[in-house]
Amino acid sequence: MAIDVTERSNLEAQLRQSQKMESVGQLASGIAHDFNNLLTVISGHAGMLLAERPASPKAADSLKEIAEAAKRASDLTRQLMTFSRKQELHLQVADLNEVVNNVGKMLRRILGEDIALTVDFAPACLRSRRTWGCWNRF
């Protein structure tokens, strides 16, 4: 008498894979939480330095970039934590011209003064619904 255990073996493999994925999700959530705590410190210090009115406009611009980058990174870690808890992500409406403008600012700082970046914006306000973290992946 022979018993086919193929289905049982497949189900056990699926269960092990599911348990591994659950562990990865918990690990990712823990790391994201710790990383978000570090970003809070960075953002707080950038805000305090901005409140002291930096001596040069360039320093103020750099501090604003640090604060904005920390905010975007915090939004991404929040999205990761939400995903690991299997909660719904909330959609937000964003003006695509504003998104492109923000990316342009970041690129200009990266490219430096020797390279000119020209951006043509849409004449009308273009809007799209996406999760907030989606806008910050550029």
Annotate 17-60 with DSSP letters as a single string.
HHHHHHHHHHHHHHHHHHHHHHHHHHHHHHHHHHHT--SSHHHH
- Decide the pairing of beta strands 91-95 and 127-131: antiparallel
Whole-number Å distance between alpha carbons of 48 and 60: 11
| Cut 0.85: pTM above it | no
Instruction: Between 23 and 85, name the one with better pLDDT.
Output: 23
When mean pLDDT is compared across 14-18, 19-23, 67-71, the lowest value belongs to 19-23
pLDDT of residue 12: 92
Residue 121: both structure tokens together: 């914006």
Which residue type is seen at 7?
E
25-55 pLDDT, tens per residue?
A: 888 888 888 888 899 999 999 999 989 888 8
Whole-number Å distance between alpha carbons of 43 and 63: 9
